[in-house]
Structure 1
Amino acid sequence: MLESLNHLMSTADGNLQSLSALLQSIAAGDLTARMSGEFRGVFAQMRDDANATASQLAQIVGNIQQSAVSINAAASEIAAGNQGLSQRTEQQAANLEETAASLEELTSTVKQNAESAREANQLAIGAARVASQGGDVVGKVVDTMSGIEASSKKIADIISVIDGIAFQTNILALNAAVEAARTGEQGRGFAVVASEVRTLAQRSSGAAKEIKDLIEDSVQRVAEGSALVHSAGKTMGDVVASVQRVTDIMGEISAASQEQSAGIEQVNQTMTHMDETTQQNAALVEEATAAARSMEEQAVQLTDAVAIFKIDAGQARRADTRAAAPVAHLLNKVRSA
């Protein structure tokens, strides 16, 4: 009986030593160690449980190792992608800033053009008003010249009548002188008067002829002046119409400039908003880059932490297959972004 008890104690001690060796290997990081040999009863169950625990722990550690490696690679690629995205975003922000500055200058120029167009429109309106007044004045001058022409013609007619009267008076004075000569001494005084009347009639006729010539010349000049005034009136009418057309065009230009100024102002506001959004995006990209770098460092620390464990190659390959799919999906998302 004592021998049986000693054999039992020896068997139990050997089984416990095998378990202790397994636990020591696990504690040392060797997850490939297993309990082997013949075990019976509770020790066989203990062996199976210990081996199952070691296998499951090796599988977990393998998953952690491969996931840490994959996460490290993904974090590195994400950080590199974010770095490139950050550079492009900064370049875009700089371009938008330059565009916004140029657009601001353009906005100022367009506003100045709109103001100049408005002032030019006011000047054109004033010029149209002055031209219209000038047209009215020329119209009055035309009417006045027409009146002068008519009056000159009437004066010419009156001078013609005076010339006719002087001619008739000259004839009558000549007849009176002839009749006075026939009467002899009694008609001498009357003959002298008739001679004086004839002289006055001749002088009146000469003066009337000179006045008639002057009036005819004046009438001709007035007619020429009237024709010129009529032509000037027509030209002034054309000028008024042209100025009115210019006024209409300047009004359209002024309205278009106002609309253009409003449109440029709206685009300027949009560009400013885009610039602010791009600046915010750049800040977010920098934060994402910092987060990716931090994740990369933590993945390295995790890799270093589980590197002390030793697992077999088969478990490592299975863990790599399971970890690759979600990491690849994550990298695809990063590339597409």
Structure 2
Amino acid sequence: MNNSLKKQLGIYFAVILAAIILGGSIVVYGIYDIYRLNKEQKVLMESSVTTLKSATGHLEWIDNLNISINTGSEFTGKLDPSACLFGQWLDSQDIDQIENEEIKAQLMKIIPLHEMIHHKGGDIIELIETDREAAYSIYVGEMVPTVDSIVESLNLISQEYEGMASHYGEKLEKDILWTIATAAGVIILILIAVAAVARKITREAIDPVLDVTNAIFELEKGNLSIDISSDRENEFGYMINSLSRAVKNIGSYVKDIDSIMSQMEQGNFDVELDRDFTGDFAAIKNSINGFAGNISQTLSNVSMASENVNMGAGQVSMTSQMVASGTSSQTELVDNLIGLTSEISADAENNNSSLSQAAVLFDETVQFMDRGNHEMANLSSAMDEINDTSQEIKKIVKTIEEIAFQTNILALNAAIEAARAGTAGKGFSVVADEVRNLAVKTAEAVNITVSLIENSTSAAEKGDHYARSTREVIEEISQKSGTVLETINQVAKASSKQTEAVSEINKDIEEIAGLIQTMASSSEEAAATSEELSTQTDILNDLIAQFRLKN
């Protein structure tokens, strides 16, 4: 692509970049020159101001010396030539580097005179103390003319520096104007170049893209009759022309496919796409040709299968009639078998009912025995409690017996003490006798109670022994009864299973009878269906004959 848009835009951008670099360099150089000239002008102006101030300073210096001579006041000026403003300025200057010959000549003239007046000033200050008139004479004859000459030279130097600064100022103004004009020109050229590039991009890129976009919108709607072309010899021109060729190729493919499909719609499958389809369309061509061949082969196979089905339908009709006649005799045998199984099932159900009632009665007996066992357990527990209570009563009776014994001893001691007391203790002796009698009766009652409690305890122990023995017997009977009940339940379950098995056999026989009847009906229906199927295969063959198939 000699006229590649990418290459053209690259050239445009390269030119713009070169213009920016060149213009920028010129502008930067102009700014640097402005900075340099401004710096030089500033130095010149500072030098002009410094020399002018030095001239004024030396006039003040000489005037101060005059006042000191005439009035005898202290001299406040500087006597060191390097300490004054001009001397400091001279130290910062390199006279050999000064290009202005007039300035250089005036400085060479001033330097010795400047040193001379500062040294002479020192001499005059010392001479004031001894000879004021001589000091004044030197001041008027030598110092004043010399200072005037120095001031005149400094004024000339200041004027030269001012003139040079003015010259640099004019040049600075010209450079600023030239730099601004150059920058403006570069900006204008860049804007013109950018506008040209934008116009180029719009004309060569954006407009073709819009054309392609509109064409794609039409393709999206299914419109293959669009007409799009371009005479541009760049990427977008080639893209548009390629799209146009692609749309035309697709349109021709669609027309060929539509023609083939129309023929197949009318029943003609003896067709084939013979033109070349490129790219992914080759697969579509192969699919259509394969579809037509497969349909032809399938319909041929269906026609052959239909003939075979027609022949088989006749055979099925004959077989069905034979099966229908054989099922009638089987139905009579099955009816007799159903009667026998019904009687067996009734006997099994009666047996199962009797076993169920026996199991219920025996289960109730076992429950009563469990209740008796529970009551005997309660009785044994009560006997244990009576035995425990008897033991506690024994302890209480023993305590009462001990109390009676102690009471008897106390009564005996009281009787002894009453006897000792004589007549005074008679009343107390009577009480002691009564207490002793009460103690004796209590001891007798305790003995009787102990005897009764021992008899009761013995009877309770015997009752507990008999209750435990009875409980063990009842538990053993209950266990045996449980075994008998389990056996009755197992027999009942076996009888129930037998009844269920007989019932299932009866159901199976009934289902067999139903199947035999169904088979008989199905045989008759199959015979009718076979005849109908034969008729339908004839119709199917007539329909297939309407299609044009490949050989």
Please report the TM-score for the alignment, with normalisation by the length of structure 2. 0.30
Bigger RCO of structures 1 and 2 (CA < 8 A, at least 6 apart):
1
Task: Give the alignment's TM-score, normalised by structure 1.
Answer: 0.47
Structure with greater helix percent: 1
Q: Which has the larger radius of gyration?
A: 2
